[in-house]
Amino acid sequence: MSEISIAPAPDETPANGHTTRRLETRRKLLEAGAELFAEGGVRAVTSTRIARRAGVATGTFYLHFPDKHALFEELVDAALEEMRPQSDAERAGSGEDSMRRDLERMLEVAARRRNLIRAVFDRGESSGLAERIQDRIARGFEQRYERVFRERGIPLHPGAAAQARAAVLVRVIAWWVEEPARAERDEIVDVLMALAPGRVQEESP
């Protein structure tokens, strides 16, 4: 299990003993939750079991999270942040090279957090979460599509294009983590690269 990164609130500093203990407790709860979700899925886990695995009282769990679903979503948010594509300002090298690195990083995180990703796409486990993730990814793509379409004079709607690409990306990742032996990681990257904004043909369909 990789270490869970916990960022303190703006008015909290790790130098404060109480804050340090609070952050450590939160970290333990997140790590315990990640382990239990990986072992049995979201439905099989209770807040009490998470607290027990973390070595704290159940009441302490509720000082940090309203329920197990909030903890699960925080784990998913952390994974999504790891997957976040670089901004144009952060990119180095050619656009195609940087996009490939973005996709390789996404798939590396997905493989490492395989059980978490699988739980996200189990409709019985986390209703509506997959759709919210797709919307979040699409928002990240939309600005890039707007720029590419404007520069190339492509008469397509960037919002719709972003939603389409996010849907494909999310579905392909969900399909791949279910059974990684289905395809090599580089093969998945090659397919997704073919759908990148810079590869969109200038003529409308």
Share of the chain above pLDDT 90, in %: 29
As a whole number of angstroms, the distance between CA 26 and CA 49 comes to 15
For the stretch 14-17, contacts whose Cβ atoms lie closer than 8 Å and that sit 24 or more positions apart, written own/partner, are: none
Residue ranges of the chain assigned to CATH 1.10.10.60? 17-71
pLDDT higher than 70, residue 1: no
As a whole number of angstroms, the distance between CA 103 and CA 169 comes to 9
As a whole number of angstroms, the distance between CA 151 and CA 20 comes to 49
Pick 74 or 1 by higher pLDDT: 74
178 contacts 190 by C-beta, under 8 angstroms: no
Highest-scoring range by mean pLDDT, 58-67, 71-80, 167-176, 189-198: 58-67
Q: Which of 27, 33, 29 lies closest to 5, judged by CA?
A: 27
Residue ranges of the chain assigned to CATH 1.10.357.10? 84-199
154 contacts 167 by C-beta, under 8 angstroms: no
User: How is residue 125 written in tokens?
Assistant: 């486990």
pLDDT higher than 60, residue 90: no
17-71 CATH pick, 1.10.357.10, 1.10.1580.10, 1.10.10.60, 3.40.50.300 = 1.10.10.60
Task: Kindly report whether the global pTM for this prediction surpasses the value 0.75.
Answer: no
**CATH architecture classification, 84-199:** Orthogonal Bundle (1.10)
User: Which residue bears the tokens 């849907």?
Assistant: 167
As a whole number of angstroms, the distance between CA 40 and CA 85 comes to 30
User: Which residue bears the tokens 């019985």?
Assistant: 124
